[in-house]
Structure 1
C-alpha cells in the first residue's frame, strides 16, 4: 500500500473522472430511455462493454479463465442482478423521472448494503453506522417526497411515483450484486468476474430484447442516442471499472469508496447543464443528508476494518 504522499495525483484525478462518468450515465440513460425500448438499449450498452472488456481481459490477463460450476452460478447471479435487473430498473426509472433526481438514489447503495449484511448475515453495525444510516434515510425521505414530509404521510402515492420505485429496485439489485460479488471474486480477478457477469447480462438482456424489436423505430437512432449508448458502454462501464479498481488497488476500498459520494453531485449538475432540469431545494438538502450519512458509515467501516 502506498502512503498518502506517494500516491500519484493521476489516481485521484481518475477517480474523480469515474464519478463524473457514473454521474453522466444518468444523463445518457435519460436520453436513451426516451427514444428506444429499454431492453434493446441495455443490450446495446453491454454489447459495447463486452467487446471492450474481452479486449481488456486478453491484453491484461491473457484471456478469461475457465469457470468452475460454482463460479458459473456466481457470475450468472452477478449478471442477473447487477446487469439485467439493475439496467431494467435504471432505464425504467429514467423514463419516468428526471436524471438529477434519479442520481441521488445511488448514494443509498452503501446504506442498503450495510442493512442487508446486518439482516441476512448478522454483521454487527456500530453506533456510527446506525447514525449514518438514520441520517441517510432522512435525506432519502426528503428526496423521495420532494420535501413534503407531512403531506407524504397522508398521501404518499402523490409524492412517490413509479420512477422512484424503479430506482429503489435498481438500488436493491445493485446491493445484491455487491453482496454476490464477494463470492464471485473468490478465485477470479475483478476483470474476469466483471467480464463474465457482463456476458451473462448481455445474454439475458438480448433474450429480453427479442420481443421488443418490433417496437424499435430506426429513425429514433439519432447520433445522440448512439453516442449515449457508446458512453454507457465505454465510459460508464469499462473505463469506469478499470480506473475504479486501480484506485482500490492503490488506495484501498474504503478510501476509494469515498469518491462514490461525488456521483450524485455530478449527476445533478450535469442534468441541470445538459438536460436543463430544475434543481429542487429538497434535492439539495436531501442529497446533502444522504452523502453525510454515507460518509459517516464509510468512516466507521474504515475505523473497524482498516484499509485493505
Structure 2
C-alpha cells in the first residue's frame, strides 16, 4: 500500500486537475461540437496511454475480472462525461463543477442502499453542511446559466461517476492503476466509436482555435491520463465516500480558477458558501483526524 504522504500528494493532484477540467471542457467545445470534443479526447488519449503502459512496462491483464474492472472504470470516463459534455450547452463551467460536488451525497446513498455500507452521524452531518454551502454558491450563479435539462444531465453524470467507484472497488481486480486507467480508456474509446455515426454530421470542417486545441489536449493528458492514474490508485486505497469528497473541494478551486482565467465574478455569497463547504469537510474528516492524532 502507498505511504500516507504518497496518497495525500496523489489526492491533491487529482483535486487540482478536476478543478481545472470543467473550464478546459468548456474551452474545448468553443470550436467543436461537444460530442466530437469528447470522442477526440478518447481517440487521442488511448494511444498515449498504451505508450505510457509500454514505457513503464506495466502488465495489462485481460482475464474476466480485469475486463469487468475496465468496464466498471469506463463509467467514470465516457459513462459520466458524455452527460457532462452534453450539459455544457445548458450550464456554465462553474455550475458543472458545483454539480459534481453532489458526488459525496450520491456515493453515500449508493453505499447505503446498494452496498449496505454505513456512515457515522458526524460524516452525514459534514456532508449535509457541505451541500448547504454548495447550494448557496449555486444560487449566486447567473440564473441564465441554470437550465433544468443541464441539471438533469449532470445528476446522471454524477451518478455514473459515483457508481463507478463502488463497482471498481467491489470487483477488486489485481490490476495496477495505470493498467486500470488504460483499460477503462480503451472501453471508453470503443463506445466513442459507436457514437461517431450519430454525430458525423457535426464533424469539424476547419481547424479549431489554438485555445480550443490546447484545452482539448489538456483534457487528454491531464484529465484522461494523469487524473485517471491518480483516481484508480486512490480507488484501490481509499473509501469511496472519502474519494468522492474530492468533488466537494474541486468546485471551490474551479470558481477561483474561473475568476482568474475566465473573468468570472465572485460574489460575497460565493465566499460564504465556500466557507460553509470547508466547514462541512472539516466535520466529515474530524473523526479521521482525531484517530490520526491518537496514532
1:28 equivalent in structure 2: 24
Residues 1:159 and 1:207: Cα distance change in structure 2 (over 3 Å): closer
For the 8 Å contact 1:40–1:205, the answer to whether it is kept is: no
**2:43 maps to 1:43:** no
1:114 equivalent in structure 2: 108
**For 1:71-150, what aligned pairs fall within 5 Å after superposition?**
71-79=66-74, 81-146=75-140
CA shift, 1:12, in A, is 6.2
For the 8 Å contact 1:101–1:283, the answer to whether it is kept is: no
- Deviations along 1:129-182, whole A, 9 cap, x unmatched? 12112212322333344489xxxxxxx999663323322222111101111111
2:117 match: secondary structure: coil
Residues 1:184 and 1:35: Cα distance change in structure 2 (over 3 Å): farther
1:206 equivalent in structure 2: 193
CA shift, 1:114, in A, is 1.8
Q: Matched residues in 1 for 2:186 and 2:217: separation?
A: 17
For the 8 Å contact 2:15–2:250, the answer to whether it is kept is: yes
Q: How many equivalent pairs are there?
A: 290
Q: Matched residues in 1 for 2:109 and 2:292: separation?
A: 17
1:221 match: secondary structure: coil
Gaps of 5+ in 1: 149-155
Residues 1:131 and 1:62: Cα distance change in structure 2 (over 3 Å): closer
Q: Matched residues in 2 for 1:75 and 1:244: separation?
A: 13
2:102 match: secondary structure: helix
**2:213 maps to 1:226:** yes
For the 8 Å contact 1:58–1:64, the answer to whether it is kept is: no
Residues 1:17 and 1:147: Cα distance change in structure 2 (over 3 Å): closer
Q: Normalising by the residue count of structure 1, what TM-score does the alignment of the two structures yield?
A: 0.79
CA shift, 1:248, in A, is 8.4
Residues 1:246 and 1:122: Cα distance change in structure 2 (over 3 Å): closer
Q: Normalising by the residue count of structure 2, what TM-score does the alignment of the two structures yield?
A: 0.82
Aligned with residue 15 of structure 2, among 13, 19, 26? 19
1:253 match: secondary structure: coil
For the 8 Å contact 1:108–1:136, the answer to whether it is kept is: no
Residues 1:248 and 1:125: Cα distance change in structure 2 (over 3 Å): closer
Gaps of 5+ in 2: none
Q: Which stretch shows the higher mean deviation, 49-58 or 228-237?
A: 49-58
CA shift, 1:228, in A, is 1.0
For the 8 Å contact 1:104–1:287, the answer to whether it is kept is: no
